[in-house]
Amino acid sequence: MVILVTGASGQLGQALQFIAGKYSGIQFHFCSSSDLDITKKQAIEDVFKATNPNFCVNAAAYTAVDKAESEPEKAHLINVDGAKNLAETCKFFNTTLIHVSTDFVFDGYKNLPYTEIDHTNPRGIYGKTKREGEQKIAENLIEHFIIRTSWLYSQFGNNFMKTMLRLAQDRDSLSVVNDQIGTPTNAIDLAEVIIKVIFSNSKNYGIYHFSNEGSASWYDFAKKIFEINQVNIDLKPILTSEFPTLAQRPKYSVLNKSKIKTEFKITIDTWEDSLVRT
């Protein structure tokens, strides 16, 4: 089996590389943005011709949530046009696409975990482009799995966990938002689930939600990070209104994982247990 992974230098791409050695029956081809620019369709076709993948895992994305507000064209080019290019190429080469999306497609006004059929209403450019990317894939390719995830972290790349630990080296106190609720997701757990989807031979294509179990505020997440790493710091909860950002974020974006657990017969660790293993 041949799997092509785009965005190989990002968090998820690196997580997939980290676990790849466990799967000797898979021939992986990892392409960073410098190896493969998904905004250029001819470049995608050239890589597909060379590798002829059974599956393409699209881990490439524009993820700078606040910066996207001032760079909407760039975010659209990668998250929408790039996704469409991959879908069209996958269709031509009979390749199944696994595309990673986000909880930011929701507005956060709900107070129950979001299901795959809940109405989407993204509040910022990042969420809007990711939702439009989902739509372009669905319009152009039947054989696709879209996996929405949330609050991704790992030992790789830039993420909230690493930022907290870095800031704690230089500061005696930190203030973290306590009124945005979601679920931290270990990138390794997401990578393993993607492999399970591939091995399942499922034809139940469409949108799925995956995150670790449970819910937390960013303050809760930071508190647990410091507890596990035995960091002594004065951590203060604040409101979103006290920490304004360019992009609006959903106040509540916990994802309902019933569909993915049933279809692929998986159990999911709590975010706290998974964080301990990081």
List residues with catalytic annotation.
Answer: 126
Instruction: DSSP for 228-246, please give it.
Output: HTT---EEEEE-GGGS--S
Does residue 276 contact residue 224 with C-beta atoms inside 8 Å? no
| Cα distance between residue 60 and residue 81, in whole Å | 12
d(C-alpha 186, C-alpha 154), whole Å = 6
Is 146:96 a contact under the CB 8 Å cutoff?
no
**69 near 247, Cβ under 8 Å?**
yes
Reference 13, options 58, 47, 76, 50; nearest CA is 58
Confirm if 32 and 79 have CB atoms less than 8 A apart. Answer: no
The string over 212-234, giving b where at least 16 C-beta atoms fall within 10 Å of a residue's C-beta and e elsewhere, is: bbbbbbbbbbbbbbbeeeeeebe
Which of 54, 46, 43, 51 has the alpha carbon at shortest distance from 82? 43
